[in-house]
Amino acid sequence: MSNKSISRLKVKNNWWEIFQGNTKRIFESRILPKYIKTCRWFGSKALNIKRINIVENILIGEDKSDARLLFLNVEYFKNIKEMYLLPITFSQSEERTDKTIAYLNTSSKKGRIFDAVNDKKFQNYLLLMIKNSLKIKGKNGIISAYSGKYLNKFNLVNLTLRDSRVLTAQQSNSSILYDKHLLFKLFRKLSEGMNPDFEITKYISENTNFSNVPPFAGYMEYKKGKSEIIIGMLQGFIPNQGDAWEYTVDSIGKYYKKILNRNGKLEKQLENYYSIPDNDKKTPTFVQELIGKNYINMIKILGKRTGELHLALSSDSSNNNFTPEQITYNYQKSVVFSMKNLTKKVFGFLKGHYKNINRDLKNDADNILQNEKRIMEYYEKLLKKRISATKIRIHDDYHLGQVLYTGKDFVIIDFEGEPARMLKERRLKKSPIKDISGMLRSFHYATYNALFIQSLSEKNVVLLEPWADIWYECISRVFLNSYFKTVKNASFIPKKKEDTETLLNAFLIEKAVYELGYELNNRPDWVIIPLKALRHFTK
């Protein structure tokens, strides 16, 4: 927000008087709706806000001037309500940042109200609350903090005073890093019930031997009567070199550069590759050299870690929330019903936005629309017989951006599931093949992002496109081979290979359809990537 667009409030003596009388009404009705629409963590920017009410206001600290944790009930005109968490505090500085909510005048000073997640005192108090398992009463409920065993490793007095800062990664939550040792995740959008990110992270850390997730160190929850809401989680920080998406896009850039440097002298190898029958295809030596053997080895590790994650999530027969369950025919029908509904919705949206599609993509769009029945047939294959396998808890939003690259290994993060889905739905057990399809789609996005979204000449795009397909085929094969080797004979893998292929194809198509709808809505220039994926299934 620009300086001019930030409102100024006036109170008599103390900043927390903004929660009284007419000032509170202005804060709720004018200032908060404008501010939260600018926040990355606010997920309903497309909806028109009818009103915002502060339904809970809890002091976080020992002095009245300390930060307040606000529970915001956001109501939209479409009769939808959501709950968001916003910590705020006051500073006598009038520095403008994107975290400034309002300027404030009192009788004796001027300053600004801002998001307290950026306030050192607030950051440190959150950590001490968890270490000491503190409880704080609000008007309607209680915040309770709990520590995990991992936290006992640290001297928190030294840790908090040395360094704490907010990570700038664009996320739907806010993360505070403490001295590169601990990470507190403040959940912004709140839902009653068990948060799957908290639930799965805690379960894996405390009940399995799988160590490639951040260790669980504590959490905070808000209780009101029988209602419980997880509002934050503390984890061990994993030193890393970025996520697997960044690592992959960088590797693909080097791959394309090698091909361009050979100035079109690879036609023979290209012909040789495409002359190999699909059933006999392995990654040829010359392709391995172009991709880079180190990257290929890392993808083998990623496939192995993914398999180990699924084995860990299916290893407990005593905890009903994690015990594997047989896939039933009713489950298969519900999956197909959901896939078909999504496809009809997105294809209707595609028809409505057809005139806005780039002229060069209209042939692809036409082909997809004309082959809707063909796509539905991939889904209907799931109904031909009952699949003999189990369903388990899964990541449920698995892609390269959800994996940290440490330089030698990978660590899997963010188990919240797809944020647009209801919390109850995100906790359902599903076939882990859904996670596998998510990662394969992420590989496809990475290679085509580097090809079509980056600034390459048309001539180079034409030259590189078949090599993009080869990269995707080879890396997908490496990942799948490593994954299936790791989970061999696991109950969640269908006994028949053709059933696994049927599931994988259906989930891949569903994911590409979802992406098509997302890109039409948000990034029209990226529509080419899911269109290319869907064309593969309609050839």
3-class state of residue 487 by DSSP = coil
Q: Is the dihedral of CA 527, 528, 529, 535 positive or negative?
A: positive
Model pLDDT, residue 245: 97
Closest by alpha carbon to 294, among 242, 246, 251? 251
Q: What is the 3-state secondary structure (H, E, C) of 376-406?
A: HHHHHHHHCCCCCCEEECCCCCCCHHHEEEC
On whether the CB atoms of residues 14 and 106 are closer than 8 A, the answer is yes
3-class state of residue 184 by DSSP = strand
**Average pLDDT of the chain, as a whole number:** 92
C-alpha dihedral (479, 480, 481, 484), degrees to nearest 10 = 120
Model pLDDT, residue 107: 87
Cα 58 to Cα 68, 76, 140, 497: the distances in Å are 5, 25, 10, 55
**pLDDT per residue as tens digits for the range 384-411:** 999 999 999 999 999 999 999 999 999 9
**pLDDT cut 90: percent of the chain above it:** 75
**pLDDT per residue as tens digits for the range 510-531:** 999 999 998 988 888 899 999 9
Model pLDDT, residue 280: 58
On whether the CB atoms of residues 147 and 231 are closer than 8 A, the answer is no
Residue 31 is given by DSSP the state I
List the domains of the chain with CATH numbers: 3-116 (no CATH), 121-236 (no CATH), 239-326+392-494 (3.90.1200.10), 328-386+496-539 (no CATH)
Long-range Cβ pairs for the range 305-308 (8 Å, 24+):
305/212, 305/409, 305/410, 305/412, 306/398, 306/412, 306/435, 306/436, 306/439, 306/479, 306/483, 306/486, 307/482, 307/483, 307/484, 307/485, 307/486, 307/487, 308/210, 308/212, 308/486
Model pLDDT, residue 44: 86
Pairing of strands 100-105, 8-10: parallel
Average confidence (pLDDT) over 480-487: 98
List the Cα angle 199/201/202 in 5-degree steps. 65
Model pLDDT, residue 180: 87
42-68 CB burial, b ≥16 within 10 A, e <16: bebeeeebeebebebbbbbbeeeebbb
Model pLDDT, residue 162: 63
**pLDDT per residue as tens digits for the range 151-165:** 888 776 665 556 888
Residue 4: alpha-carbon gap to chain centroid: 34
Average confidence (pLDDT) over 241-248: 97
Pairing of strands 182-186, 142-147: unpaired
Model pLDDT, residue 4: 52
Average confidence (pLDDT) over 20-43: 94
Written as one letter, the residue type at 379 is: Y
